[in-house]
Amino acid sequence: MSQKLLRIGRISYTNTLPVYFYFDQERFEDRIDFSEQVPAQLNREMANGEIDVGPISSFSYAEHEKQYMVLSSLSVSADGKVGSIFLFSKRPIEQLDGAHIALTNTSATSVNLLKIILKMFYKLDVSYEVTEPKLSAMMQQADACLLIGDDALLASRNDKEYHVYDLGELWKQFTGYPMTFAVWAVRRAAIAEQEELLHEVHKAFLQSKEKSKQNLDKVAAYTHEKFGGECSDWLDYFRGLQYDLTPLHREGLEHFYRCAYELGLLPEPVKVTRWDARQKQLID
């Protein structure tokens, strides 16, 4: 009887590329299977049990924390500017009270982060609509819009018409914390069924991350060839992102969850429970 495949998610944005760039997929042969989607789709696939492990929106982890754990030492975070999560606005952010805001349908964390920033930090009352992530179409009906990932990168480079706000920078400004946008979550059921294989995959991700850190120029050159843009811009972008999950990242993420709870976006505050097969135990 053949071994069950470990189903691994992959975000179809460049921001996770360093974790995957040197991932040695060939060594796993027919033991793993990849599914590449935008964050919102990966969130749904993980919740439905269609994938076992992969990067999901950190907010989606909070929604399902009883079914998930987080792989240690992996995230997509920023200590300030993230460079690919932007609010585009027709007027200064302080003047958005009563505004109608279009939200990308590809995100969970950034959508809720924006709600926290506007309500808790700026004391603004606004209305929201979820739409396809197309800047021109969104701004035809809205006063401002939220874009993430490569959609946001492209829009920020090509359109200089609007006020542009980096949500990672705003979060840092008001809280002092880094913001963790995605975590590598694993279903508890998958740990029970495929602990040894999961350990191998986790180790391969960590090795890829560390090698990418040492060779960011090669990661940037690849991204330039595949997606265009200036190589130096991609290098600056990757340097601005963080892929670790330190105690400070966890503290900032749990603060985000408390804010979400206070606004009624989560039913209760959530703690981040990490798993590391090297220690054969939970890490609290």
d(CA 179, CA 161): 27
- The pLDDT score that the predictor gives to residue 39 is 82
Identify which of 283, 282, 274, 259 has the alpha carbon closest to the alpha carbon of residue 59: 259
Q: Under a CB-based contact definition with an 8 Å cutoff, are residues 192 and 26 in contact?
A: no
Is it the case that residue 143 has pLDDT exceeding 70?
A: yes
The fraction of the chain above a pLDDT of 90, given in percent, is 80
In the predicted model, what is the mean pLDDT of the chain? 92
CA 125 to chain centre: 26
- In tens, the pLDDT along 56-113 reads 999 999 999 999 999 999 999 999 999 999 999 999 999 999 999 999 998 889 999 9
Is it the case that residue 277 has pLDDT exceeding 80?
A: no
**Which run of H or of E encompasses 35?**
strand 32-37
Is it the case that residue 283 has pLDDT exceeding 60?
A: no
d(CA 269, CA 277): 26
- The pLDDT score that the predictor gives to residue 122 is 98
- The pLDDT score that the predictor gives to residue 167 is 97
Cα separation values, 253 from 51, 56, 76, 183, 214, Å: 23, 14, 12, 10, 27
203-217, 226-240, 260-274 — which is least confidently predicted?
226-240
- In tens, the pLDDT along 163-185 reads 999 999 999 999 999 999 999 99
**Which run of H or of E encompasses 138?**
helix 135-141
- The pLDDT score that the predictor gives to residue 228 is 86
CA 157 to chain centre: 21
Secondary structure (3-state) at 151: helix
Domains of the chain: 6-77+179-283 (3.40.190.10), 85-175 (3.40.190.10)
Average pLDDT for residues 135-143, to the nearest whole number?
A: 95
How much of the chain is helix, strand and coil, in % rounded to 5? 50, 25, 30
- Name the band, by pLDDT with cuts 50, 70 and 90, for residue 281: very low
Residues in the chain: 284
Tally of CB atoms within 10 A around 212? 20
User: Across the strands, what pairs with 184?
Assistant: 55
Q: State the number of CA atoms in the 13 A half-sphere of 279 facing the CB.
A: 9
- Name the band, by pLDDT with cuts 50, 70 and 90, for residue 278: low
Strand ranges for 58-125 from DSSP E: 68-78, 85-89, 100-104
Indicate the pairing of strand 68-78 with strand 274-276. Answer: parallel
Average pLDDT for residues 226-239, to the nearest whole number?
A: 91
Is it the case that residue 1 has pLDDT exceeding 60?
A: no
- The pLDDT score that the predictor gives to residue 261 is 98
Tally of CB atoms within 10 A around 264? 8
- In tens, the pLDDT along 237-258 reads 999 999 999 999 999 999 999 9
d(CA 91, CA 113): 20
Average pLDDT for residues 120-140, to the nearest whole number?
A: 96
Average pLDDT for residues 35-51, to the nearest whole number?
A: 90
Tally DSSP H helices, then E strands, for the chain. 11, 12
